[in-house]
Amino acid sequence: MSADREQFGSRLGFILAAAGSAVGIGNLVGFPVAAAKNGGGAFLLIYALFVVFICLPVMMAEISIGRHTQQAPMQAFNKLSDGHKGWTAAGFLALLTPFMIAVFYTVITIWLFGYLFETLSGNLSQLADPSYFGSFINSNSIFGYLIAVKAIVYFILFSGVKDGIEKGAKIMMPALFVMLIMLVIFVLTLDNAFAGVTYYIVPDFSKIDAGVINTALSQAFFSLSLGMGIMITYGSYMRRDDDLPGSAKFVAFTDTAVAFCAGLLIMPAIFSFNPEINTAELSDSSVGLIFTFLPKIFLALQVSIGYFGASAVAAIFFLLVFFAAITSLVSITEVPNSAIMGAMNYSRRKSLSILAVSVLFFSILCIYSFGRADALTNFLNYGGVDKSFFDVIIDVFYDTVLPLNGLLSCLLVIFHWKRSNFHSELERGSPAYRGSFLERYVDLSLTTFIPIILSVIFINTVAYKYFGVSFIG
């Protein structure tokens, strides 16, 4: 263990920071719609089972890698594999993935900041115009929002793990919870709101098929920030005597609770706005819902609470999602930052300065891929579809590589680090873990069906995304 390795100041700090990385845009918007379109309560049940029986063991594996090695993913893989070139390459992939995810997440976060600013400026009616989003993302004001977002993120990161990431999580996560509950309570008072609640939580088992099961597992895996290197990095900042299994369970519970509560916000709001809505018509894209559909719902509230009231509700919502995006972006960015500091022996300030310029460069390329530059707008064609530079980053590094990274972490833990060493790390700070049902289950799952399931998800994603062939559903 490096003598100057930063650490979280408390177990609560780790839990809030890790939960902040997991709670993101997909939880607050994508999850409710996925549930509504895939069986409501039946989807929720399947999702919860996957979180407990598949995602939790993977999370424990990733956190344990970080805490044991006290290293970022690339160095951690190298250390546990005794410098094996194949595992070093896997570690590099675990570094490259969060860097590229930080690029596209930066773009979405600046959109959120822009919509928050416009809402606070009294322009809600403009945001509700279906044609506004297209002009907004190509406006020059985007660059001002980009500077503002980068300043917030890097101010938190420059302050370090304890005084920056942990302190930021301790402020933003409770604020996020409070705003979410406030909005849920308000939305449930609207006309026809409980029709949305019923649709959201009452199981429709007739919709359950292989495709829905795959969707639930993918949503659970991605929403917990697995495969991004975040849990490995944050695990490396975890204190040796903290209860790792207990902390992992709290993170999984918090993330799932926020996702569920978000459904109690989004679906009742949609049904209140349009009681006859066909949920099959809802966009699968969180971006489409946030920036084109939901502003219309907020504007419709002016009938009952006036334009100022509707703008206030919209502002709270965009602030809520912005906080979720910022906590996730901070976590994602810290992964390559930690790796650069460790590999190059740079100070936090020097490492972040290099990273800021790099992320800024690729973020601007993404901004120019929405019509400003044809070469970036029509960057590649695969699966019979033209893809922008922004689309390619999402397809490759978010949709495709994450399950592969999770699979590699499991294989490294079980077959190279060895099971006995892995369980000894989990027992440190949690003596009750030894001989428990959880220990036996984690051992069984990671050595049998979890690697198989992650392999199937990866193979199916590659086949579908790039060749238009699906083996599931």
Which H, E and C letters describe the chain, residue by residue? Answer: CCCCCCCCCCHHHHHHHHHHHHCCHHHHHHHHHHHHHCCEHHHHHHHHHHHHHHHHHHHHHHHHHHHHHCCCHHHHHHHHCCCCHHHHHHHHHHHHHHHHHHHHHHHHHHHHHHHHHHHHCCCHHHHCCCCHHHHHCCCCHHHHHHHHHHHHHHHHHHCHHHHHHHHHHHHHHHHHHHHHHHHHHHHCCCCCHHHHHHHHHCECHHHCCHHHHHHHHHHHHHHCCCCCCHHHHHHHCCCCCCCHHHHHHHHHHHHHHHHHHHHHHHHHHHHHHCCCCCHHHCCCCHHHHHHHHHHHHHHHCHHHHHHHHHHHHHHHHHHHHHHHHHHHHHHHHHHHHHHHHHHHCCCHHHHHHHHHHHHHHHHHHHHHHHCCCHHHHCCEEECCEEECHHHHHHHHHHHHHHHHHHHHHHHHHHHHHHHHHHHHHHHCCCHHHCCCHHHHHHHHHHHCHHHHHHHHHHHHHHHHHHHCCCCCC
Among 63-72, 281-290, 428-437, the minimum mean pLDDT is found in 281-290
Residue 3 confidence (pLDDT): 44
- pLDDT beyond 90 at 31: no
Give the pLDDT band (50/70/90) at residue 274. Answer: confident
Sorted by where each begins, the domain ranges of the chain are 11-467
Rg (C-alpha) for the chain, rounded Å, is 22
User: What mean pLDDT do residues 346-369 have?
Assistant: 96
Query: What does the block give as tokens for 181?
Result: 């509950």
**Partners of 386 in the β-ladder:** 381
- pLDDT beyond 50 at 81: yes
Residue 141 to residues 311, 356, 470, Cα–Cα distance (Å): 21, 20, 41
Strands 385-387 and 380-382: antiparallel
432 near 43, Cβ under 8 Å? no
Burial class (CB in 10 A: 0-12, 13-18, 19+), 215: buried
- pLDDT beyond 50 at 303: yes
User: What mean pLDDT do residues 200-221 have?
Assistant: 82
Both ends of the chain: CA-CA distance in Å? Answer: 47
Chain segment 120-173, per-residue pLDDT in tens = 999 999 999 989 999 999 999 999 999 999 999 999 999 999 889 999 999 999
pLDDT, the chain, mean:
90
Chain segment 330-350, per-residue pLDDT in tens = 999 999 999 999 889 999 999
Which distant-in-sequence residues (6+ apart) come within 8 Å of 250 by Cβ?
Answer: 15, 19
Residue 401 confidence (pLDDT): 92
Higher pLDDT residue, 280 or 448?
A: 448
CA angle 132, 263, 219 (to 5 degrees): 90
In single-letter form, the type of residue at position 270 comes to I
CA dihedral 465, 449, 407, 334 (to 10 degrees): 100
50 near 216, Cβ under 8 Å? yes
Out of 220-229, 322-331, 362-371, 398-407, give the one with best mean pLDDT: 362-371
pTM score of the predicted model: 0.92
Cα 461 from Cα 353, distance rounded (Å): 35
Q: How many CA atoms lie within 13 A of 119 on its CB side?
A: 25
Q: What is the largest CA-CA distance in the chain?
A: 66
What topology does CATH give the domain 11-467? Hydantoin permease (1.10.4160)
Higher pLDDT residue, 219 or 359?
A: 359
Query: What does the block give as tokens for 257?
Result: 């609770």
- pLDDT beyond 50 at 234: yes
Q: How many CA atoms lie within 13 A of 270 on its CB side?
A: 28
Residue 437 confidence (pLDDT): 96
Query: What does the block give as tokens for 284?
Result: 């699968």
In single-letter form, the type of residue at position 380 comes to L
352 near 158, Cβ under 8 Å? yes
260 near 28, Cβ under 8 Å? no
Chain segment 98-119, per-residue pLDDT in tens = 999 999 999 999 999 999 999 9
Residue 473 confidence (pLDDT): 58
393 near 386, Cβ under 8 Å? no
**Partners of 203 in the β-ladder:** 40
Chain segment 413-468, per-residue pLDDT in tens = 988 898 999 999 999 999 999 999 999 999 999 999 999 999 988 998 898 889 88
Cα 217 from Cα 215, distance rounded (Å): 6
Query: What does the block give as tokens for 275?
Result: 């009681």
7 near 162, Cβ under 8 Å? yes
